[in-house]
Structure formats: C-alpha cells, structure tokens
Amino acid sequence: MVPLARKTLVYEWRRFLPSLFAVAFSGLLLLVQAALVLGIFESAAVYITRSGGDLWVGHPGTQSIELGRPIPNDTEIRLRMDPAVARVEPFIWIDGDWRGPSDRGGLSVFVSGVDTRADAMVFADVLPATLRAMLDEPDSVIVDRADLAKLGLGIGGRAVVNGHRVRIVGVANGLRALGGVNIVASLETARRLDNDHGGTEVAYYVVRLRDGADADAVRARLQPTTATKRYEVWTRGAFAHRAVTYWMFGTGAGLGVVLLALVVFCVGAIITSQTLMGAVAGSIREYATLHALGVAFGDLRRVVLQQAGWVGAAGLAVGGVLTAIVIVLAKHHDVPVQLDAITVAACAALVMGIALVSGLAAVRALRHADPAMLLR
Amino acid sequence: MPALVAESLDKSFVTGTVRTDVLRGLSIEIEAGELTLVSGPSGCGKSTLLAILSGLLKPDAGRAIALGEDLARLSPIELERFRLHHTGFVFQGFNLFPALDALEQVALPLGYLGLDDATARARARRALEEVGLGNRLALRPAELSGGEKQRVAIARALAKEPQLLFADEPTSALDAANGQIVIDTLHRIAKTHGATVLCVSHDPRLVAHADRVLAMEDGRILADSRAEPAAAGRG
C-alpha cells in the first residue's frame, strides 16, 4: 500500500509544522507542569521519604509533617514494649523564628531535631554520617544548600533562633520542603531552641521493626483503641502519602493542575485540529478523486487519522526532548521537579489524545470530498 | 447489452428560490468498446449526465443502469465497491497528490483493490508505459507538465482495468498537442481494452476522434452521430 499519510506529511511538512508544534508544546506544558507539581508536593513528604524506619508515630490526625504537635513522652515506652519493635527514634519538630543578618529581617523556620548517630533513621538519605556527626557540636545546624541565599549566610554563618545562637556547620541537598526553611539540629540543640515545651516533648517517633515483622499488623497493634487517642501510628508510606495528598488537594492545587491540564488539552486540540483540517481541505480534490475511484470514506478517514497519529508521535518526541532539557535545567538550579513513569505515560496518553481528537475533528472536513464537485 | 443505459433521466438543481432543470427526460444507450463523446455548451447538463451514469449523483427521476446494475438500488457502500471495481475517472483538474511520484499516484488506488505492493507497482508501471510515461515514473506532479499530469491521471484510471471510463473535460486545460495525445490515449483504451469510454467535453477538437458524438443542449440530446469508420480509426 502506498503510504499516503506519511508521504504527504514528509513532503508537505511545512503545512503540518504548526500542528506538530502545538502538540509538542502541549506535551511540554503538561509534562513540566506535572514535574513541578510532583516535585513541589513530593517535597511535602521529603522528611518521611528520605528517612528510614517502618512506622511513624505522631499527634492524632496529623495531615502533614509540618503540622506536627507534641505527643506524650510515655509513648516511647509503649512502643518499645512491642516485641516487633527494634528501635524507636525521637524526632523533634518545632517552629522557629530565625534572625540572621540585620538586612534580612526575620524568617519563619522549622527546626528538626534528629539523632546524630551514624545509623540514625531520620534523614538517613540526606545526612551522611560525617555531616550528621557535625551536629554533635552544641548549637550547630545544617541547612539546605538552596536555602543559603534566602538566609543570607554561608557555612560558618551565625544566626539566632528563638533567641538562641546557632551556627551553620554544613549544607545538605534534599532538605528543601514546602512551607518554610528547614533547619536541622541535634536533639539536644533542638531542645535548647524549644522555649514552649521546655524541651521535653517530641513531635514524632520513628520506629524500625525487626526483620520479617509485618508493618501493617504492628501498626494495628500499636494504634490506641481508646476513644480519645493520644497519638496515632502510620506506616511510612501511608504518612508520606497523607502529606502529599494534604498539599495536593487540601490546598486546591490538585484541582488547579487538573484544570490547567484541561486548558492545555483544549488549546492543543483546537490548534492541531485547525491545522489538520487545513491540510485536509488543501487536498480535498485529491481525496474526492480517490473517493470517485471507489476508495471508501472509511479508508480516507484512516489516512487523516494516520496523519494525526504521526503528528502526535512526532510532537510527543519533540515535547519529550524539550521537557528533558527543562528538567535538567531545573535540577541544575535546585527547582524541585519529579517525574515518574506513570505520570509520563499519562501525559503521553493525553498528548496522543490531543492528536486523536484533532484527527477526528479533521475527518469532518472530508465530508466535502464529494466527487460530484469535481464535475462542475 | 449496452454498457450504460439512461432511462428518462430528470435532474434539477435549486439555487435559493430558482430551480434549474438540468436533465429533461433524457434517455440514451452507450456501447462498450467505443469512445462516446458528449459535447455541448457549458450548462447543457453533460457533466450531470456523466455524474449520474457513474453513480456519483442520483437522478430525480428515471433510471441509470451501468453494466446491468440499477445504480439507484445500490447502497452507498455497494456503490463505492461498484466504482472501485468497475470505473475509472479522469477529471479536468488532474487532482494528483503533490507528495506522490507518478508510480505511486497510479499504484495508490490499486492498494485499495486488495492488490499486493509488487502487483500494484507492476500494473502501475504498465499503465504509465501505456500512456507514454515509462521514463517519468519517479517524478512528482511539480516536475511534470500539464499534459504529463493528465496522462498520469489517465494511467491512474486505466490501471484499475475498469470496464467503464469516465472523462470530464480531460483536454480543456491542455494545449493542442497534449490534448491530442490524451484523446488518442482514451480512444485506444476503448479499442484495446474493450472499455466503455464516456467523455464529456465542449472541446471541438475531440469530435474528430470520437466513435460517437452526442450533441446536448438544455438537458436533451439534440443529435447522435457516428463517425466514419476511417475517421474514427485514425489515431
């Protein structure tokens, strides 16, 4: 069979270029938007996903990690009593008022107090053992590299948090999260910085289970059954998911994403279909001739849809390359971006959907391929 | 049995409130193996007659019978299939796809007939050689002259090996020499392939090459004349 769709596409590429760009930019917009949103909202769960441990224990109903409230100290004892629990690590989470260089004013920060042992679970992926050990020095803190500019300080810089002096002893990558600057300190330093609770309470306990223990079963066992719970237990994955969901849907951002995707889809489809219709209209006499020669409408329709499919595939390829470039640039500048296979597949499906819908719209232009018009 | 039969065809078009009768009770029989020319001034209804006899248009009244089939009885799908297997068309505009070379233009409809690539290409090459374009197979429309383009269009119709070949003003866009080649080719197709060639034209140069000339005016056949055997055999 003579590949009419492909040959026409290659020969008359100028005619199809606008639709290819429309598809490519739709793909770019969808992918970059998804990458940014995922990147930003994954950072809501960054403390959970970049820490070890199997269970998180916190204030009942806590929706996202930065909303942590103190829980009773005797919780630790209750957790340790379960035979499946191998280790319990406290995680202090307090709000802080940061005063750095005088020209910067004050900043709201979150202070995380973490275990400084080499095999600690909290921030296991973010803080290597040597960096973590630096926190043993009293009043030392670590910040994210990307936050240095915001704080107006470098390594060795001094500031005041909640009225207590601290010193930046190192920087890490991956501590950037939603809601504010994150300062990591040792448990002892964090307690000193906590004026409200006298440094006796923690916000979370991270629990590591013994090998072979069923996290769900242990969670169910540790979960208080009384009507007024004093703490709540989540598996690590569930707690991370809670945080992402809270930001994605609790803030209305998720709906915004869906709406924007819808707009991108419509605009992409309108531009692409107009161009494809123009291409069909430009060849309408040739199509009519084929129809006169007995080529069925269904076969002509297939030619147009094939063209739409090729435009979609080519646009997707161009959009994919552009997205890759944008992602690399974003990562280079510490912009939180994240893409997973499912999201890429969904965006690709949406882009091919744009091409297909446009093709179906362009097929309507074939109605004018009436051979009788050639006889006037 | 005649290849094409028109029985009391009526056809009118309505433009706004104005109704124009294009065909008025027209009856005619057209034989196979001949080049039949329908001539007349523009607007006399000759293209409408061709459209009805080829199944592209339905008459208001009367019957159009092609190869023994009453075209009005066929569904749109059956009509497509009938045209695919039995008819070829040559239009005034050449209507070639700019992206395809001559061989592909001709092979394209053959693919829809169900022929495999090799057979379609071989048949397309034969048809192009028959119209004298054996050395132009790889050229696109932009690289062909008007006469060559029309010969590609004829080859496209011919390669299907149709029993019915319809041509609408095939020479009006061509100069004398190319018009001559085109009409000779159509005539030869009628003779050597035994096809029924129905040609509609107001080009007086064609009259001398037709086996039979139907003169039309105001939706009726005014005269039906057969060429002298010697004259028709020329070409």
CB proximity B18 to A under 8 Å:
no
Measure the CA–CA gap between B90 and A170, rounded to whole angstroms. 82
Instruction: Read off the pLDDT of residues A8-26 as tens digits, 9 standing for 90 and up.
Output: 999 999 999 999 999 999 9
User: What mean pLDDT comes out for the span B43-65?
Assistant: 93
Instruction: Read off the pLDDT of residues B189-218 as tens digits, 9 standing for 90 and up.
Output: 999 999 999 999 988 888 888 999 999 999
User: What mean pLDDT comes out for the span A251-262?
Assistant: 84
CB proximity B137 to A under 8 Å:
no
The answer to whether A122 and A218 have CB atoms below 8 angstroms apart is: no
Per the prediction, chain B carries an average pLDDT of 91
Structural domain boundaries of chain A? 4-43+252-375, 72-230
Instruction: Provide the pLDDT for residue B232.
Output: 46
Q: Do A7 and B95 touch (CB under 8 A)?
A: no
Measure the CA–CA gap between A278 and A274, rounded to whole angstroms. 6
The answer to whether A79 and A205 have CB atoms below 8 angstroms apart is: yes
The model's confidence at residue A318, banded by pLDDT at 50, 70 and 90, is very high
Phi and psi at residue A182, in whole multiples of 5°? -110, 130
- Bridge partners of A196? none
The model's confidence at residue A198, banded by pLDDT at 50, 70 and 90, is low
Quote the percentage of chain B above a pLDDT of 90.
Answer: 79
Q: Do B80 and A294 touch (CB under 8 A)?
A: yes
* Helix, strand or coil, per DSSP, at residue B155: helix
CB proximity B99 to A under 8 Å:
yes
Measure the CA–CA gap between B56 and B11, rounded to whole angstroms. 13
Q: Which domains does chain B have, with CATH numbers?
A: 31-58+75-233 (3.40.50.300)
Instruction: Provide the pLDDT for residue A177.
Output: 67
Most A CBs within 10 A among B23, B84, B112, hence the mutation to make, goes to B112
User: What mean pLDDT comes out for the span A260-279?
Assistant: 91
Does the structure show a pLDDT above 90 at A88?
yes
The closest of A95, A97, A134, A117 to A206, measured between CA atoms, is: A117
Nearest chain A residue to B83 by CA distance is A294
Q: Do B111 and A283 touch (CB under 8 A)?
A: no
Instruction: Provide the pLDDT for residue B234.
Output: 46
Instruction: Provide the pLDDT for residue A269.
Output: 92
The closest of B213, B159, B218 to B189, measured between CA atoms, is: B159
Instruction: Provide the pLDDT for residue A199.
Output: 62
Smallest Cβ–Cβ distance between B99 and the set A7, A294, A297 belongs to A7
Return the percent helix, strand and coil in chain A, to nearest 5.
55, 20, 25
Q: Do B84 and A290 touch (CB under 8 A)?
A: no
Q: Do A295 and B84 touch (CB under 8 A)?
A: yes
Q: Do B168 and A375 touch (CB under 8 A)?
A: yes
In this prediction the ipTM stands at 0.91
Q: Do B95 and A293 touch (CB under 8 A)?
A: no
The model's confidence at residue B80, banded by pLDDT at 50, 70 and 90, is very high
Instruction: Read off the pLDDT of residues B85-144 as tens digits, 9 standing for 90 and up.
Output: 999 999 988 999 999 999 999 999 999 999 999 999 999 999 999 999 999 999 999 999
- The length of chain B is 235
Q: CA geometry: angle at A238 spanning A233 and A241, to 5°? A: 135
- The length of chain A is 376
Per the prediction, chain A carries an average pLDDT of 90
Measure the CA–CA gap between A138 and A153, rounded to whole angstroms. 19
Residue with tokens 């990562």: A331
Amino acid at B154: I
**Tokens, residue A85:** 């629990």
Measure the CA–CA gap between A260 and A33, rounded to whole angstroms. 9
Measure the CA–CA gap between B235 and A214, rounded to whole angstroms. 95
Instruction: Provide the pLDDT for residue A152.
Output: 86
Instruction: Provide the pLDDT for residue A179.
Output: 64
CB proximity B172 to A under 8 Å:
no
- Bridge partners of B198? B36, B166
